[in-house]
């Protein structure tokens, strides 16, 4: 049987204390104090779920006691009791953090209901705080895999910058974990109790992105049937993470600059600015210096965002972390997929360690899941289950040239081979997203599709598994 919630009754009148105790004795464990000093002393040595606190008492009054309780016991519910009905006193108590306000003489059912609601509210607040702490622990640096010197440098930078209010620019190739770093910055910062809002600037067209970021007023455009609060306002008091910031249009860049400089924004269709207190963490896999030179990114915004830069190394630049990541993802994916643990063949491990990983940590995670899904139960995971990229021979420019000069390959075939390798690499880096691959190659998706079909380039093919067993735990 669950224990009863504990209530501390604080009132200088013995009759009032006894009356409240009798009303609540069946639903609560009760304790009493006859003054503010006695209440604070009791709370220093005991725990309770609710305080019923008289406002007018000798010595320190109820409002001062309430203020001290809020400083020391953040989630403790407090309901004020008073014979006065002045709005001023009620407002003062609520501003100091009182949950409710009851006047004497009180109605018995009203008192019971207020006590129950206050205790429930305190319990929910504690649960929310526990969840917030659990999320914060999940995104702490302790849970980001990185034993290499390069990642240790990243962690030191994150811990140093997290304590400040400065904007942060996170750079690195696609799949290196920029969002994980942004979340770590937030949850290690003084804003950890505030909201963390994330938005991918490349996921929405410009007209929708503006409304999503800054909000809009009702009637500001055809489909604006009601007012919308933007992501920046939702992030007030916390952090906003803007991924792929280089994809933001110059017009929206100017509005973002205003927020960084003035701390205010204009909703679409609004006539008055809205003040916001938001820390901006931005990320990109593009070269912003090139974007600035090409007029696609504002130089003044770059310097506002780039107060501190966190540069994430590619996975190929920290190969000593690969074994740790393989072990981590094997355990994580086994639990997520609810399957029996599987072992990797040594040849499979060797190929994973020697691969260049153009898609970085995200690609490695996806490959590990693929290996677990495609390999039969009870058999070791052999290299046959790896994507075709792992077995495709990569011809070097020098080798192709030698083949042509030796008369064993025509120049047309050499050009096709070179183009095939370029397109295959671009598709691999973009996880076979043809639109992004076309952008990477400086062409259009239509032309890229034509070349893919002409050259016979296909998506990775599924295959079987199984050879000599080497457990993940042996990595």
pLDDT digits (tens, 9 = 90+) for 262-309: 999 988 888 889 999 999 999 999 999 999 999 999 999 999 999 999
The parent domain of residue 264 ranges over 145-311
Token pair for 77 = 């519910």
Strands (DSSP E) found in 123-224: 168-171, 196-200
What CATH number does the domain containing 428 carry? 1.10.10
Question: Is residue 405 pLDDT above 90, yes or no?
Answer: no
What CATH number does the domain containing 285 carry? 3.40.50.300
The pLDDT assigned to 377 comes to: 79
**Bigger pLDDT: 329 vs 472:** 329
Q: Are residues 172 and 129 in the same domain?
A: no
Q: Which helix (H) or strand (E) holds 279?
A: strand 279-284
> Quick one: pLDDT band at residue 47, thresholds 50, 70, 90?
confident
Q: Are residues 149 and 275 in the same domain?
A: yes
Q: Is residue 349 included in any domain, yes or no?
A: yes
Q: Is residue 1 included in any domain, yes or no?
A: no
Q: Cβ distance 369 to 329 under 8 Å?
A: yes
Helix 397-405 / helix 411-429 crossing angle, nearest 10 deg: 160
Question: Which residue, 79, 7, 81, is CA-closest to 49?
Answer: 7
Token pair for 73 = 């016991």
Q: Are residues 190 and 66 in the same domain?
A: no
Q: Are residues 270 and 149 in the same domain?
A: yes
Q: Which residues pair with 311 in a beta bridge?
A: 171
The residues, ordered by sequence, that sit 6+ positions from 24 with a Cβ below 8 Å of its Cβ are 7, 30, 111, 112, 115
Task: Lay out the sheet containing 279-284: strands in order across.
Answer: 196-200, 239-243, 279-284, 168-171, 308-311
Q: Are residues 156 and 222 in the same domain?
A: yes
What CATH number does the domain containing 31 carry? 3.40.50.2300
Q: Are residues 272 and 358 in the same domain?
A: no
Q: Is residue 214 included in any domain, yes or no?
A: yes
Per-residue CA distances from 262 to 121, 234, 273 (Å): 37, 18, 10
Q: How far apart are CA 174 and CA 285, in angstroms?
A: 6
Q: Are residues 289 and 162 in the same domain?
A: yes
Q: Is residue 224 included in any domain, yes or no?
A: yes
Q: Are residues 78 and 223 in the same domain?
A: no
Per-residue CA distances from 304 to 37, 49, 258, 262 (Å): 51, 46, 10, 12
Q: Are residues 304 and 331 in the same domain?
A: no
Q: What percent of the chain has pLDDT over 90?
A: 38
Domain boundary among 311, 331, 349: 311
Which residue carries 């302790």 as its tokens?
142
pLDDT tens readout for residues 440-449: 888 888 888 8
Q: Is residue 327 included in any domain, yes or no?
A: yes
pLDDT tens readout for residues 157-200: 999 999 999 999 999 999 999 999 999 999 999 998 889 999 99
The pLDDT assigned to 447 comes to: 84
Q: Are residues 263 and 377 in the same domain?
A: no
DSSP 206-222: HHHHHHHHH-B-TTSST
Domain boundary among 311, 337, 355: 311
The pLDDT assigned to 296 comes to: 93
pLDDT tens readout for residues 5-19: 889 999 999 998 999
> Quick one: pLDDT band at residue 466, thresholds 50, 70, 90?
very low
> Quick one: pLDDT band at residue 87, thresholds 50, 70, 90?
low
Token pair for 382 = 């052999």
What CATH number does the domain containing 376 carry? 1.10.8.60
Question: Is residue 464 pLDDT above 50, yes or no?
Answer: no
Q: Cis peptide before 105, with omega less than 30 degrees from 0?
A: yes
Q: Is residue 392 included in any domain, yes or no?
A: no
Q: Are residues 350 and 412 in the same domain?
A: no
The pLDDT assigned to 8 comes to: 93
Dihedrals phi, psi of 80, to nearest 5 degrees: -85, 140
Look at residue 427 and give its three-state secondary structure: helix
The pLDDT assigned to 140 comes to: 61
The pLDDT assigned to 325 comes to: 93
The residues, ordered by sequence, that sit 6+ positions from 121 with a Cβ below 8 Å of its Cβ are 77, 99
**Bigger pLDDT: 465 vs 295:** 295
Q: Which of 58-67, 365-374, 425-434 has the lowest mean pLDDT?
A: 425-434
DSSP 322-386: HHHHHHHHHHHHHHHHT-----B-HHHHHHHHHS--TTHHHHHHHHHHHHHHHSPTTS-B-GGGS
How many domains does one find in the chain? Answer: 4
Q: How far apart are CA 216 and CA 266, in angstroms?
A: 8
Q: Which residues pair with 103 in a beta bridge?
A: 82
Domain boundary among 267, 296, 311: 311
- The CA-based angle 448-452-457, given to 5 degrees, is 145
Q: Are residues 98 and 210 in the same domain?
A: no
The pLDDT assigned to 256 comes to: 94
Q: Is residue 139 included in any domain, yes or no?
A: no
Q: Is residue 140 included in any domain, yes or no?
A: no
Question: Which residue, 360, 325, 355, is CA-closest to 175?
Answer: 360
The pLDDT assigned to 107 comes to: 82
């Amino acid at each position: 049987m669950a224990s009863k919630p504990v209530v501390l009754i604080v009132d200088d009148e013995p009759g009032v204390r006894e009356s409240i105790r009798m009303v609540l004795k069946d639903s609560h464990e009760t304790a009493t104090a006859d003054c503010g000093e006695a209440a604070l002393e009791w709370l220093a040595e005991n725990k309770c779920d609710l305080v019923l606190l008289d406002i007018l008492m000798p010595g320190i009054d109820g409002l001062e006691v309430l203020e001290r309780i809020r400083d020391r016991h953040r989630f403790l519910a407090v309901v004020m009791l008073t014979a006065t009905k002045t709005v001023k006193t009620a407002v003062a108590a609520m501003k100091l953090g009182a949950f409710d306000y009851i006047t004497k003489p009180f109605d018995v059912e009203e008192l019971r209901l207020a006590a129950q609601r206050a205790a429930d509210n305190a319990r929910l607040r504690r649960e929310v705080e526990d969840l917030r702490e659990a999320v914060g622990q999940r995104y702490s640096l302790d849970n980001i895999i990185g034993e290499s010197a390069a990642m240790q440098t990243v962690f030191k930078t994150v811990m140093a910058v997290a304590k400040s209010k400065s904007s942060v620019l996170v750079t690195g190739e696609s799949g290196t974990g920029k969002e994980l770093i942004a979340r770590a910055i937030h949850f290690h910062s003084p804003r950890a109790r505030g909201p963390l809002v994330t938005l991918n600037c490349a996921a929405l067209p410009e007209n929708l992105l503006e409304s999503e970021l800054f909000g809009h007023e009702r009637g500001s455009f055809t489909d604006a049937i009601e007012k919308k609060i933007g992501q920046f306002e939702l992030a007030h008091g916390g952090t906003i993470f803007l991924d792929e910031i280089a994809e933001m249009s110059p017009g929206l860049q100017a509005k973002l600059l205003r927020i960084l400089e003035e701390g205010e924004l204009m909703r679409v269709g609004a006539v008055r600015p809205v003040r916001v207190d938001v820390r901006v963490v931005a990320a990109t896999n593009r070269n912003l210096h090139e974007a600035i030179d090409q007029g696609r990114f504002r130089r003044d915004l770059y310097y506002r965002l780039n107060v501190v830069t966190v540069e994430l190394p590619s996975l190929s630049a920290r190969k000593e972390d690969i074994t740790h990541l393989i072990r981590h993802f094997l355990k994580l994916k086994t639990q997520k997929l609810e399957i029996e643990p599987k072992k990797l063949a040594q040849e499979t491990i060797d190929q994973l360690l020697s691969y260049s990983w153009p898609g970085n940590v995200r690609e490695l995670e996806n490959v590990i899941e693929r290996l677990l899904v495609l390999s039969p139960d009870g058999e070791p995971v052999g290299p046959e289950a790896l994507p075709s990229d792992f077995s495709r021979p990569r011809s070097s420019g020098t080798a192709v040239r030698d083949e042509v000069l030796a008369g064993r390959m025509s120049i047309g075939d050499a050009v096709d081979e070179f183009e095939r390798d370029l397109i295959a690499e671009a598709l691999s880096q973009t996880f076979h997203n043809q639109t992004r691959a076309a952008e990477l190659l400086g062409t259009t998706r239509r032309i890229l599709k034509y070349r893919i079909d002409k050259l016979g380039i296909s998506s990775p093919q599924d295959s079987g598994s199984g050879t000599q067993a080497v457990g993940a735990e042996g990595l």
